[in-house]
Amino acid sequence: MNTRTLGTTGPTVSALGLGLMGMSDLYGASDEAESIATIHAALDAGITLLDTGDFYGMGHNEMLLRDALRGRNRDNAVISVKFGALRDVDGGWNGSDLRPVAIKNFLAYTLRRLGTDHVDIYRPARLAPDVPVEDVMGTLAELVKAGHVRHIGLSEVSAETLRRAHAVHPVADLQIEYSLISRDPEAAILPTARELGVGVTAYGVLSRGLISGHWTPQRETDATDFRSHLPRFAGANLDRNLALVDALRAVAEARGVTVAQIAIAWVLSRGEDIVPLIGARRRERLTEALGAAAVTLTEADLAAIEAAVPSGAAAGSRYDEAQMAFLDSERA
């Protein structure tokens, strides 16, 4: 597996990272033994970047990662943790708490659950309206100084917020949704990250499975599957988006690769500063995703992909209205 360095101050990580979220939360039922086998297979294939969140399954995701790393060399893993989101017992979302005491509390629990003395990259999942990003960075800088956190990351913030944050303390990477059908970061966020020397970890590169080539109109999602609430997976939007996938499938077949592989390879081709996070939670899916690392897209391939899935072609927003309002990255 090739490596990429996250920005000018961040760690060097595998060119593909593994995102663990769906193993504990948001995408319906998952299988714990298969999740651990998938993490092991990823490590064995050379993946070093493992992305989790303390609120993914209310701690379950971190404990799953601790179990998966048992008997492995923890120092070979770059553990990225998101924090700040407040949940309720039914899985609901109650905003973010980024007060200094809250951040220190979140980290104390995280270190215990992970069974480690430091987090490699620590990032607020969303900003909180009552705490300026400068203050959040100040708290995180203290944790870096104390050795509990190695690098600071951010998630879903605008170019302007990234600039303000980076002025307080270097940001290793910005985590943001970026895929063939979510290209808004190209306007201001990616250029600003590049200018500042901030790396990018791209999530939703398969748009949560929608552009993986495996999603069908018949696929059933239960109430615990967050995708059942997403505009892009509903009604006429879904038909329109799956038509884009059909067009992409023709390009993928001509190249002898799968839809998921061409979609991931496209994100990889957007720059050496971008590391796609793969949301595989089964070994079979992981194997497919890993195949993308070996796909080099030519100019002709890129033109064919652009013709199949032009920028802005997706129907529906990437989150529902309430969640969109919570995204700093969506502010101009």
Ligand X SMILES: NC(=O)c1ccc[n+]([C@@H]2O[C@H](COP(=O)([O-])OP(=O)(O)OC[C@H]3O[C@@H](n4cnc5c(N)ncnc54)[C@H](OP(=O)(O)O)[C@@H]3O)[C@@H](O)[C@H]2O)c1
The neighbour count for residue 18, using CB atoms within 10 Å, is: 28
DSSP string, 266-285: HHHTT-TTEEEEE---SHHH
Contacts of 213 (CB under 8 A, 6+ apart): 245, 248, 249, 252, 258, 259, 260
Residue 47 as a binder of ligand X (CB under 6 A): the answer is no
- Strands 85-87 and 93-96 come out as antiparallel
Q: Which is nearer to ligand X, 146 or 284 (CB)?
A: 284
State in angstroms the smallest separation of the CB of 53 from ligand X: 7
Residue in 56, 122, 178, 319 annotated catalytic: 56
Helix axes of 283-291 and 259-268: crossing angle, nearest 10 degrees? 50
Q: Is 238 within 8 Å of 232 (Cβ atoms)?
A: yes
The label of the residue with tokens 């303000």 reads 164
Residue 244 as a binder of ligand X (CB under 6 A): the answer is no
The one among 189, 230, 289, 314 contacting ligand X by CB under 6 A: 289
Residue 207 as a binder of ligand X (CB under 6 A): the answer is yes
Best CA proximity match to 135, nearest among 102, 108, 107: 102
Piece of 41-49, 192-200, 229-237, 274-282 that binds ligand X (CB under 6 A): 274-282
Residue 199 as a binder of ligand X (CB under 6 A): the answer is no
Q: Is 259 within 8 Å of 213 (Cβ atoms)?
A: yes
Q: Which is nearer to ligand X, 81 or 131 (CB)?
A: 81
The one among 6, 15, 16, 21 contacting ligand X by CB under 6 A: 21
The one among 22, 124, 170, 185 contacting ligand X by CB under 6 A: 22
d(CA 124, CA 85): 8
Residue 175 as a binder of ligand X (CB under 6 A): the answer is yes
The one among 51, 54, 273, 301 contacting ligand X by CB under 6 A: 51
Q: Is 165 within 8 Å of 135 (Cβ atoms)?
A: no
Piece of 35-43, 99-107, 198-206, 295-303 that binds ligand X (CB under 6 A): 198-206
Residue 267 as a binder of ligand X (CB under 6 A): the answer is no
d(CA 68, CA 113): 12
State in angstroms the smallest separation of the CB of 23 from ligand X: 8
The one among 174, 260, 268, 314 contacting ligand X by CB under 6 A: 260
The neighbour count for residue 272, using CB atoms within 10 Å, is: 12
Residue 56 falls in the annotated catalytic set: yes
Residue 125 as a binder of ligand X (CB under 6 A): the answer is yes
| Site of interaction with ligand X (CB under 6 A) | 19-22, 27, 51, 82, 125, 155-156, 175, 203-209, 212, 214, 260, 277-281, 285, 288-289
What is the set of active-site residues? 56
